C-alpha cells in the first residue's frame, strides 16, 4: 500500500495500483489473474486486470467467471468520462460486471446521481454493474473474507438502491 502512495509518475501510479490488485485478489479463493494490461484486437482499448473467477464457495461465487478491473491511482476522484469509458469497455467485451479501484473515489453525489454516479446508474439500467472500491477501504481489511463481504454489500446496494455508496 505504501508503494501506491510513494510513486511519482502517472505510469508508476497506475502500475502500483495494478500490482496491489494482482497481489490482493488472487488471495481470494478461486481467483487468479487471467491477463494484465491487455489490448483488444483493434488496439483501441486496454484492460488493466482481468480476473478468472472459479466460483469458490468462500470466494466471489456471486460474480461472473470473468471480471475486468480498472485501476485509477489519482489523488482526485475519477470523473464521469473515465467511468463511462470503463462501462463502454465492459459493454464492448460482453461483460456485465466490473470493478473500478479508484484511489480518490468517483465524482458527484451518490444520492443525487450526479457526475460519475450517474454513469454507474445508467450502466445499471443497461445491465452493467460497476463496483467502486478504494484503497482506503482495502486498508481496513484483515483478511480476504472481508473483501468478499465488501464486494457483496456493494453489489447488493448497487442493485437495490441504484447507487454506489450507502
The 10s digit of each residue's pLDDT in 25-77 is 999 999 999 999 999 889 999 999 999 999 999 999 999 999 999 999 998 99
Q: Are 48 and 36 in contact (CB under 8 A)?
A: yes
For the CA atoms of 142, 145, 151, 153, the dihedral, rounded to the nearest 10 degrees, stands at -100
Cα-to-chain-centroid distance, residue 112:
22
Enumerate domains of the chain plus CATH numbers: 2-161 (3.40.1350.10)
- pLDDT tens-digit map of 136-145: 999 889 999 9
Are 100 and 83 a contacting pair, CB within 8 Å? yes
Whether pLDDT at 4 is above 60: no
Collapse the DSSP code of 48 into the 3-class scheme (helix H, G, I; strand E, B; otherwise coil) and give the result: strand
Amino acid at each position: 500500500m505504501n508503494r501506491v502512495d510513494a510513486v511519482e509518475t502517472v505510469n508508476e501510479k497506475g502500475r502500483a495500483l495494478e500490482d496491489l490488485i494482482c497481489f490482493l485478489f488472487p488471495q481470494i479463493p478461486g481467483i487468479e489473474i487471467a491477463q494484465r494490461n491487455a489490448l483488444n484486437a483493434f488496439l483501441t482499448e486496454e484492460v488493466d486486470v482481468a480476473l478468472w473467477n472459479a466460483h469458490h464457495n468462500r470466494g466471489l461465487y456471486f460474480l461472473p467467471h470473468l471480471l475486468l478491473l480498472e485501476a485509477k491511482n489519482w489523488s482526485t476522484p475519477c470523473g464521469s468520462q473515465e467511468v463511462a469509458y470503463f462501462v463502454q469497455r465492459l459493454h464492448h467485451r460482453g461483460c456485465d460486471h466490473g470493478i473500478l479501484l479508484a484511489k480518490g473515489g468517483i465524482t458527484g453525489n451518490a444520492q443525487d446521481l450526479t457526475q460519475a454516479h450517474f454513469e454507474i446508474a445508467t450502466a445499471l439500467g443497461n445491465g452493467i454493474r460497476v463496483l467502486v472500491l478504494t484503497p482506503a477501504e482495502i486498508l481496513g481489511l484483515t483478511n480476504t473474507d472481508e473483501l468478499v463481504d465488501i464486494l457483496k454489500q456493494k453489489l447488493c446496494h448497487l442493485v437495490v438502491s441504484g447507487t454506489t455508496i450507502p
